[in-house]
Structure 1
Amino acid sequence: MLLADTAVPAWSWNLIADFQQMWSFPFMVNAFRAGAVTAVVSAVVGWFVVLRRQTFAAHTVSAVAFPGAAGAVLLGVSAVYGYFALCVAAALVIAALRGSGDHEESALTGTVQAFLLAAGFLFIALYKGLLEGPQTILFGTFLGITSTQVTVLTGVGIGVLAVLALIGRQLLFASIDPQVAAGRGVPVRALSVAFLVLLGAATAEASQITGTLLVFALMVIPAATAQNLTARPILSLALAVLLALAATWLGLTAAYYSPYPLGFFVTSFAFAGYVTARGMHALHTIRGRIRPSLPAKEVTA
Structure 2
Amino acid sequence: MFSFDFMRNAYLASTMIAIVCGFIGVFVVARNMSFLTHTLSEIGFAGASFGMFVGITPLNGMLLFTMFSSVLVGRMSTKAARRENSISAISGLFIGLGVLFLALSNKSASYATNILFGSVVGISPADVYQMLVLAVIVLLILFVIYRNLKFDSFDPVGASAQHVHSGLMSVIFLLLLALSVSVAAQIVGSLLIFILLTLPAASAKYFAHSVSGMIAVAISCGLLGVWLGLYLGYVTNLPVSFFIATIECALYFLALGYNYLKERS
For normalisation by structure 1, the TM-score amounts to 0.84
> What CA deviation, in whole Å up to 9, does each residue of 1:95-143 have, x standing for no partner?
44257x6953432332121011011112222223566142111111211
Q: Using the alignment, how far apart are the partners of 1:226 and 1:149 within structure 2?
A: 30
Q: Using the alignment, how far apart are the partners of 1:124 and 1:171 within structure 2?
A: 38
2:258 corresponding residue in structure 1: 280
**Does structure 1 residue 78 correspond to structure 2 residue 57?**
yes
Give the counterpart letter for 1:65 in structure 2: G
Aligned to 1:212, the other structure's residue is in SS state: coil
**Does structure 1 residue 90 correspond to structure 2 residue 69?**
yes
1:32 corresponding residue in structure 2: 11
> What CA deviation, in whole Å up to 9, does each residue of 1:175-194 have, x standing for no partner?
12212211211111110111
Across the two proteins, how many residue pairs are aligned to each other? 265
Q: 2:224 aligns with which of 231, 246, 254?
A: 246
> What CA deviation, in whole Å up to 9, does each residue of 1:185-240 have, x standing for no partner?
11111101110111111111111111111112211111111111121221221111
Pair 1:252–1:106, CA change in 2 (3 A): same
Q: Using the alignment, how far apart are the partners of 2:86 and 2:241 within structure 1?
A: 29
Q: Using the alignment, how far apart are the partners of 1:286 and 1:103 within structure 2?
A: 36
1:293 corresponding residue in structure 2: none
Q: Using the alignment, how far apart are the partners of 2:197 and 2:83 within structure 1?
A: 22
Aligned to 1:213, the other structure's residue is in SS state: coil
Q: 2:92 aligns with which of 110, 114, 124?
A: 114
1:56 corresponding residue in structure 2: 35
Q: Using the alignment, how far apart are the partners of 1:133 and 1:192 within structure 2?
A: 34
Give the counterpart letter for 2:32 in structure 1: R
Q: Using the alignment, how far apart are the partners of 1:58 and 1:255 within structure 2?
A: 25
1:163 corresponding residue in structure 2: 141
> What CA deviation, in whole Å up to 9, does each residue of 1:72-109 have, x standing for no partner?
0111111110121111122121244257x695343233
Q: Using the alignment, how far apart are the partners of 2:225 and 2:214 within structure 1?
A: 16
Give the counterpart letter for 1:183 in structure 2: A
Aligned to 1:180, the other structure's residue is in SS state: helix
Q: CA deviation at 1:257?
A: 1.8
Q: Using the alignment, how far apart are the partners of 2:63 and 2:239 within structure 1?
A: 22
Q: Using the alignment, how far apart are the partners of 1:91 and 1:140 within structure 2?
A: 21
**Does structure 1 residue 176 correspond to structure 2 residue 171?**
no
What value does the CA root-mean-square deviation take over the aligned residues? 1.6
Give the counterpart letter for 2:37 in structure 1: A
Aligned identity (percent) is 31
1:269 corresponding residue in structure 2: 247
Pair 1:176–1:77, CA change in 2 (3 A): same
Q: CA deviation at 1:273?
A: 0.8
8 Å contact kept, 2:208–2:217:
no
Q: Using the alignment, how far apart are the partners of 1:163 and 1:44 within structure 2?
A: 12
Contiguous gaps of at least 5 residues in structure 1: 1-21, 288-301
Give the counterpart letter for 1:234 in structure 2: S
Q: Using the alignment, how far apart are the partners of 2:262 and 2:197 within structure 1?
A: 26
Give the counterpart letter for 2:64 in structure 1: A
Aligned to 1:145, the other structure's residue is in SS state: coil
> What CA deviation, in whole Å up to 9, does each residue of 1:276-296 have, x standing for no partner?
111111111111xxxxxxxxx
Which residues in structure 2 correspond to 1:129-168 (within 5 Å)? 129=107, 132-168=110-146
Q: Using the alignment, how far apart are the partners of 2:64 and 2:159 within structure 1?
A: 32
Q: Using the alignment, how far apart are the partners of 2:257 and 2:54 within structure 1?
A: 48
Contiguous gaps of at least 5 residues in structure 2: none
Pair 1:277–1:102, CA change in 2 (3 A): closer
Q: Which moved more, 1:275-284 or 1:258-267?
A: 258-267
Q: Using the alignment, how far apart are the partners of 1:220 and 1:129 within structure 2?
A: 31
